[in-house]
Amino acid sequence: MKKLMSKVKEDARKKKIINKELAPRLKVSEGMISNYYSCTNRIGGYKFAELISIIYEGEDGKIDFFLTEYPKRNNKDEHVIELLEWSHQNGKKTIQKEILDQYSVKENPLFLYYSLFLRRSEGNISAQNFIIELENIKYKSNNSPEFKTLGWIGLLYAYYDLHNYNMLFLADEALKEVLNIKNVKKTYNYLKESLKVRIYEIQAIGFLKENNIQAAEKVSLKLTNAENIGAYPLPLSSAFMLLSEIYVFASYNKSLDFINKAINLCNKMNDTRNERWKLRLEATHDFIKITNNDFTQLYLSDPSEQAHLYAKIGGKENEKKCLSILESIENKKGKLSNFQMYYKALALKSDRLLSESAENFIKSGDLFYAQLPKRALNDH
């Protein structure tokens, strides 16, 4: 670790980045910066990532090199876990993968949670298999509040992926558990605060689904405060997307502004493994515009939103195109989502299917988007 930190110190000197400049940005004393360089005080994963990001700003290759070297030189699991969490919140999936490959032989079950969460975020595990593996990890012998909190977060992810939005109220239980994580020497605990952010993110989604707009907006805005821009850009992008959804019916301009902020933030997170998240943001962008009858400057990277567009434009040819896309999706997935059923009902101008669509949204606990087919019925 000493050789690594000596290299960082030397590069900082060459770039004329002094301790006096670094200290306030890392929220430590100038003396602590010196101690980090000399390894008198071992630098944690979060502080290391922040330090590297400042010194090598704009040099993504060097940042990634140092982030992957850190776990090889630091044998403290809690420091590596902190770096894994930071990598997740900064959209650095490639770094997560490399670290987890290094630590695959570790018996610490916290690494199992991070490996499972990464597979989920990359779409490499089904919702059903995710919950099975989640249960297997839960029975590992670890009673730490960090382990229990990650278990709660995993359970919330599972309910979300299974479209069982009625169960997202369990975010309250997760928040109770995360408070049991102790701050070391009464200082800032990045892991604790970051896990809180994950829970707030799911909690806001839960509020939106139950059509509690005021609560959803309050939690989402909490996530978008200035301090979160550097520490949690991925949840910040998610919060902007959620705000865009909150305003989809009430204010088209606000909705579009928020989704563009989310996309811009995602584009700054330079990692090809974020492609799945980027596509989701593009689909939300198109959904907002099509819902509000604006058919210009669309991404159309999501087949569902292509079908949505054809359904909204209308006409026999567009109806055929919409139904053809949805039939292909149904053949591949086995069934249509609530949104896709709504698009089918729109294309066919079927009051019966629109009513069924509304019922399906309600059964899954999505009262907010149950407004879609209800509004269409009112327009008929």
What string of DSSP letters covers 133-188? HHHHHHTSS---HHHHHHHHHHHHHHHHHTT-GGGGGGHHHHHHHHTTSPPGGGS-
Tokens representing 188 are 């800032």
Per-residue pLDDT band at 186 (split at 50, 70, 90): very low
pLDDT digits (tens, 9 = 90+) for 98-154: 999 887 766 788 999 999 999 999 889 999 999 999 999 988 767 789 999 999 999
8 Å CB contact between 144 and 176: no
> What pTM, to 2 d.p., does this model score?
0.90
pLDDT digits (tens, 9 = 90+) for 230-271: 678 889 999 999 999 999 999 999 999 999 999 999 988 766
Residues 6+ apart with CB under 8 A from 92: 64, 67, 269, 271
